[in-house]
Amino acid sequence: MEDNRIIKTEYSEVMQKSFIDYAMSVIIARALPDVRDGLKPVQRRTLYDMYELGIRYDRPYRKSARIVGDTMGKYHPHGDSSIYDALVVMTQDFKKGLPLIDGHGNFGNIEGDGAAAMRYTEARLEKITQEAFLADLDKDVVDFVPNFDETEKEPDVLPVKIPNLLINGSEGIAVGMATNIPPHNLVEVINAMKAYMLDENITTRELMRYVKGPDFPTGGIVINQDELLQIYETGTGKIRIRGKVEVEKAKGGRVNLVITEIPYTMIGSYIGKFLLDVAALAETKKTQDIVDITNQSSKEGIRIVIELRKDADVENFTNMLYKKTKLEDTFGVNMLAIADGKPETMGLKQILKANVDFQYEVATRKYQNLLAKELDKKEIQEGLIKACNVIDLIIEILRGSKDRNMAKACLVEGKTDGIKFRSKESKIMAAQLMFSEKQANAILEMRLYKLIGLEIEALINDHEETMANIYRYEDILARRDSMAQVIINELDEIKSAYGRRRRTEITNAQEAVYVEKKVEEMDIVFLMDRFGYARTIDLQTYERNKETVHAENKYVFQCKNTGKICIFTNTGQLHTIKASDLPFGKFRDKGVPVDNVSNYDSAREAIIYAASQTDLNLYRVIFATKLAMLKVVDGGEFDVTKRTVAATKLQEGDEVLSVVTLKEQYNIILQSQNGYFLRFAVEEIPEKKKGAVGVRGMKLGAGDCLEAVHYTRLLDNSVIEYKGKEIELNRLKQGSRDSKGVKVRV
């Protein structure tokens, strides 16, 4: 009988449990590395799959698509792109201090070009990956767990012999947490690990005699050495890094600024952005020292050349690059990893402790396994040696037995019944043999050539070697010092084989001081067309082309080149732009989109009004919204330092319809969508702060809203066209604020 019961539960509880389960899955099984092997699950599974497929460093490359497909089918049931991306990163020597995979083909470059498709590239394991990451998997040193469909077994962690989490670093975004660990120098990390093994009470400060700081594969200079101790004690902090700059003499007395190393954070598309940022410094007249900029980088390394003018202040220009571009940047450290099945932020000493404990655990399992095998060999060797000493008797037993079981029973239990012996003495001796089960099987399976004198001598030598191994393994397992020495010896071998000199310089550098050259203040004219492209021109150019300027542009006004432009939008935001950030040039030059020089987003807001900060400081500003809310604000309130502030507060469903600078006495005329017009004096609108909603200007009918706002001087005869009818605004009946207005019949 089917169980058709409906279980009622609180929706919020189901959502909470489901989200927590999802979050933990992402944290533990996808985004964060394990502190023991420094690998995320996708990396561990990819390396193990390559090991299983036999794609070793001394064998031919195999197609990346084969590796990705096999990994996805057996161990990692996620998208193939995530597996291939992980494989690609493990081949890139500019991202990893110690690449784990040897790639053949296009695996991308430091400038952000992506790798070729997986069907074109090939890969195999690096030698160090086999020797230091996968070497002892056959010795039962780590636990194996079922894969996602329980058809295969995969290692819970790889038996990595070095602190890979520190050497290669890691980055990953989980749910509610992220990890960002910089790479370090292999030699320094191994030396620190040895120091911790010799003295577990060693302090972080003492460990930093060995680990000077991060060692980025891109080199560069870490400039806040004094802050590193705090970072390595807590596991969090900010590392400030600079690119390396050299000065070269060029032709004609000029100098070239050559960037030979970049900050680690500039890898990828940020190199191209850096070039654009430097070019923008020249375009926006922040500096006039730049003659040319070229990227001469190649496989040999980074080389970005900036040609400077003869009289350029090289030090000041370099400091400007540090201040204005990513040539100086911050690396946010958050050493978060999975430890004992849960995420934990760890300092340098904690990570080394976790790795040392793991090495002892792996070594213990390894030598227990090796000892058990040697004890088995010892038992069999002793049985064969004993058998060689009484070989004539054993041959007599074998010839006299009817079957294997009878002979085995005689060898193990001394049973002689049914066996034909040549003499009583032989039968008595046979009853006293008492071999073990394993020894008896080895004797019965022994080949005759083993009875040759040299073979017997080799057997004795093997036995002596086995006894030496047993003694050594028992000593390693019994004494922690012996095991520590074995681990240290392995670390020294790896260090001598794969160690390299430090690339990143560690120092304390002063804050870059950039003295910005004072710009001579002058009057300019701001232009912005209806598409939102803005630029500035000089007064003379404006005067010569006044009619065309006003015909082609929506906003035209005079301002200072040192001042700011204020842009008001329908969402009630005020965006400010430095006039110096806009291109200044010829009348027919193209401007730049306002989006590019401010926080204005043309996709979700529209420009209502633009004015210079100078004008706003002198006058008051009137706001009118679609729901007929009005207010006057002192323009000085919009003299702000932030790039974006709220210019007014809006009710739900409302938006700004009109913003105007109030320079004279006006009448205001509100025009509604349903054809109502209300005319009253501007003085009736109270002055409010920019954070206020305002007051109601007109009583609107159901579903009605403001369509337009008009302003007229007291004696002007302003005329508008409304649905084909001309209306003289100053002839409309004078009303008062917050009344309904008059209906215009058409």
Residue given tokens 């902090």 in the structure block: 237
505: which strand partners?
221
- Are 108 and 91 in contact by the 8 Å Cβ rule? The answer is no
Q: How far apart are the C-alpha atoms of 266 and 622, rounded to whole Å? A: 46
SS3 of the chain: helix, strand, coil, percent, to 5: 40, 25, 35
Which residues have CB under 8 Å from 554's CB, separation 6+? Answer: 528, 529, 530
In Å, what is the CA distance from 455 to each residue of 388, 448, 459?
11, 10, 6
- Are 583 and 591 in contact by the 8 Å Cβ rule? The answer is yes
CA angle, 211 then 217 then 219, to 5°: 80
Q: Show the tokens assigned to 84.
A: 């291939």
Phi, psi at residue 271, to the nearest 5°?
Answer: -65, -45
Q: How far apart are the C-alpha atoms of 647 and 450, rounded to whole Å? A: 98
Helix crossing, 348-389 with 391-400: angle to 10°? 70
CB neighbours of residue 203 within 10 Å:
11
Q: How far apart are the C-alpha atoms of 482 and 473, rounded to whole Å? A: 9
CB neighbours of residue 238 within 10 Å:
11
- Are 624 and 706 in contact by the 8 Å Cβ rule? The answer is yes
Which among 11, 120, 322, 555 is annotated as catalytic? 120
120 is catalytic: yes
- Residue 389 burial (CB < 10 Å; 0-12/13-18/19+)? exposed
- Among residues 571, 539, 723, 718, the alpha carbon closest in space to that of 654 is found at 571
Q: How far apart are the C-alpha atoms of 33 and 178, rounded to whole Å? A: 11
Which residues have CB under 8 Å from 525's CB, separation 6+? Answer: 536, 537, 538, 539, 541, 542, 549, 556, 557, 558, 559
Residue 277, helix vs strand vs coil: helix
Amino acid making up residue 627: L
Q: How far apart are the C-alpha atoms of 576 and 568, rounded to whole Å? A: 9
Residue given tokens 């090796």 in the structure block: 370
Q: How far apart are the C-alpha atoms of 185 and 166, rounded to whole Å? A: 8
- Among residues 708, 730, 684, the alpha carbon closest in space to that of 626 is found at 708
End-to-end alpha-carbon separation of the chain, Å? Answer: 77
Residue 686, helix vs strand vs coil: coil
- Are 256 and 248 in contact by the 8 Å Cβ rule? The answer is yes
Residue given tokens 């964060």 in the structure block: 32
Q: How far apart are the C-alpha atoms of 353 and 201, rounded to whole Å? A: 11
Q: How far apart are the C-alpha atoms of 304 and 245, rounded to whole Å? A: 9
Residue 399, helix vs strand vs coil: helix
CB neighbours of residue 655 within 10 Å:
17
Which residues are known to be catalytic?
A: 120
